[in-house]
Chain A
């Protein structure tokens, strides 16, 4: 079993839709959770960084962590064609390595 599981998609939504991206994990030691966005043939860029359970909002993006269920989510409101990219979840515990999910390919159609 992989430490971090992420549905690779692809996920296609119309412009303006709410997008929900998810990851599950098996290691309860993970403390820090991130979401990265990666455009084609580019390096990942950090979108959201959270610690502990709960929600964190930044503009149209909301990151949610449920440690009891070992489940994290990224919600994108009012999705735009420019949001089309691959979204990678990542997580680690203090002193541990950063583990990435497989990435979900998102396409927002105008």
Chain B
């Protein structure tokens, strides 16, 4: 199946700093990428939908200025957590689709962010 690579898998940062997480589709072109957040023993919460070359669409309650999403190419989307705080600590997961079928999402391995 299609492979989605996410990097870094684990990051620890100080409060107030910014962290960038990359999501790459390795063997296919992803017209749409999604960013999720997952708390322990909770389901995936969709944060935003990212289409190549256009602005991301954020879900209600997700701060656009805190979670900057860029989808510069068909194989790369980035999530930048700006001025991170301890409450931003979470597991962030990206997924990608070719666009032919919304449900056939391919997920990255996830990135665990810990803000001290």
**A34–B103 touching, CB < 8 Å:** yes
**B107–A49 touching, CB < 8 Å:** no
How many positions in chain A have a CB within 8 Å of any CB in the partner chain? 25
Q: Which residues of B contact A46 (CB under 8 A)?
A: 1, 104-106
CA distance A97 to B43 in the complex (A): 15
CA distance A80 to B9 in the complex (A): 27
**A43–B110 touching, CB < 8 Å:** yes
**B6–A49 touching, CB < 8 Å:** no
CA distance A34 to B104 in the complex (A): 9
A100 within 8 A of B: yes
Q: Which residues of B contact A6 (CB under 8 A)?
A: 43
How many whole Å from B64's CB to the nearest CB in chain A?
18
A53 within 8 A of B: no
B81 within 8 A of A: no
Our pick among B1, B46, B108 for the contact of A43 (Cβ within 8 Å) is B108
**B42–A43 touching, CB < 8 Å:** no
Q: Which residues of B contact A101 (CB under 8 A)?
A: 43
How many whole Å from A17's CB to the nearest CB in chain B?
23
27 CB < 8 A contacts A-B: A6-B43, A34-B103, A41-B91, A43-B4, A43-B107, A43-B108, A43-B109, A43-B110, A44-B93, A46-B1, A46-B105, A49-B104, A88-B43, A88-B44, A92-B103, A96-B102, A97-B46, A98-B34, A98-B102, A98-B103, A98-B105, A100-B43, A102-B42, A102-B43, A103-B41, A103-B43, A105-B41
